[in-house]
Amino acid sequence: MGKIRILLLGGTSEASALAKALAGDPRYDALLSLAGRTEKPTLQPLPTRIGGFGGRDGLAKFLHYGEFDLLIDATHPFAARISQNASEAVASLGLLAFSLRRPPWMAQAGDNWLHVGTIAKAITALGTSPRRVFLAIGRQEAHRAEAAPQHFYLVRSVDPVEPRLAVADVQYILDRGPFGIEGEIALLETHRIDAVITKNSGGSATYAKIAAARRLGIEVLMVDRAPAPAMQTVETVEEALATINHLFPPR
């Protein structure tokens, strides 16, 4: 048997870690796929393609003509469309697939979380009186803040938010995780933040803001995940490697 052809849908730190592990293993011939959202993506150890496939059917064709043996969906838990496309494409081809998805964060003692279903609902839940909000949701949906322009927003993203938000009081920070707790505490204190809006991404790279909010007694508006499409799911890179081994036992 030749090398096992793997298409790895990425865009997360877990995908990059898995890419590194696959790159070092001669049994695998793996291709990493990125959406192309970030202007300067982290350098990857695997051959990489960038850009959409053209929906579910485009992805199915790509998998078929590329003679892939396995698809691994290691996209972000909030990247719902690509995961839905992936699950439908592999089902139509009868292709082996699983997803690598970090478990969500769970509230612990001292946390003051308000669970909301969407970013728009988080913005509404801030209320009418002006507040000082850390908007740590990336740039794609930052414009939702315009529905409540009475608040101050501290917006952090990897790439600049363009166009700028149509609100009076806003500051932008460009930064890429991982973030540490002391730095996050300093950030929240410096800007006198009284509400943090975040998606429940899970993982360790961006958890420090949650721990910092707990330490300072700040409210967190936690945007919960939508249910993921049905696909076998593992939570760690180690489990992902074990699953590949199980699906394609070494001979």
Ligand X SMILES: NC(=O)c1ccc[n+]([C@@H]2O[C@H](COP(=O)([O-])OP(=O)(O)OC[C@H]3O[C@@H](n4cnc5c(N)ncnc54)[C@H](OP(=O)(O)O)[C@@H]3O)[C@@H](O)[C@H]2O)c1
Candidates 46-54, 90-98, 165-173, 184-192: pick the segment binding ligand X (CB under 6 A). Answer: 46-54
Minimum Å gap between C-beta 38 and ligand X is 8
Residues 119-138 that bind ligand X (CB under 6 A): 138
Give every CB contact of residue 211 below 8 A, 6+ residues apart in sequence.
Answer: 181, 184
Site string for ligand X, 84-113 (x = CB under 6 A): -x----------------------------
Report the site for ligand X in 188-247 (rule: CB under 6 A).
Answer: 199
Shorter beta-carbon distance to ligand X: residue 50 or 168: 50
Tokens of 14: 């877990």
The one-letter amino acid at 21: A
Contact between 12 and ligand X by CB under 6 A: the answer reads yes
Give SS3 for 238.
Answer: helix
Stretch that binds ligand X, among 73-81, 144-152, 189-197, 202-210 (CB under 6 A): 73-81
Single residue of 81, 112, 239, 242 touching ligand X by CB under 6 A: 81
Q: At what angle do helices 13-23 and 237-247 cross, to 10 degrees?
A: 50
Residue 97 and residue 231 in contact, taking contact as beta carbons nearer than 8 Å: yes
- Look at residue 50 and give its three-state secondary structure: strand
Q: Is 205 exposed, middle or buried (0-12, 13-18, 19+ CB in 10 A)?
A: middle
What share of residues in the chain are helix, strand, coil (percent, to 5)? 30, 25, 45
Q: How do strand 4-9 and strand 96-100 relate by DSSP bridges?
A: unpaired
Specify the residue for token string 């899970």.
202
Element (H, E) at 28: strand 28-34
Residue among 3, 42, 47, 58 that touches ligand X (CB under 6 A): 58
Residue 33 in the binding site for ligand X (CB under 6 A)? yes
Q: Which of 17, 23, 31, 80 binds ligand X (CB under 6 A)?
A: 80
φ, ψ of residue 10 in degrees (nearest 5): -120, -150
Judged by beta carbon, residue 76 or residue 214, the one nearer ligand X is: 76
Min dist. Cβ of residue 52 to ligand X (A): 2
Among 22, 70, 72, 82, binds ligand X (CB under 6 A): 82
Q: Is 75 in the site for ligand X (CB under 6 A)?
A: yes
Q: Is the dihedral of CA 14, 25, 46, 66 positive or negative?
A: negative
Q: Of 4, 11, 13, 60, which lies in the binding site for ligand X, with binding defined by CB under 6 A? A: 11
Q: Which is nearer to ligand X, 9 or 244 (CB)?
A: 9
Q: Which residues make up the interface to ligand X (CB under 6 A)?
A: 9-12, 33-35, 37, 52-55, 58-59, 75-76, 78-82, 85, 138, 199
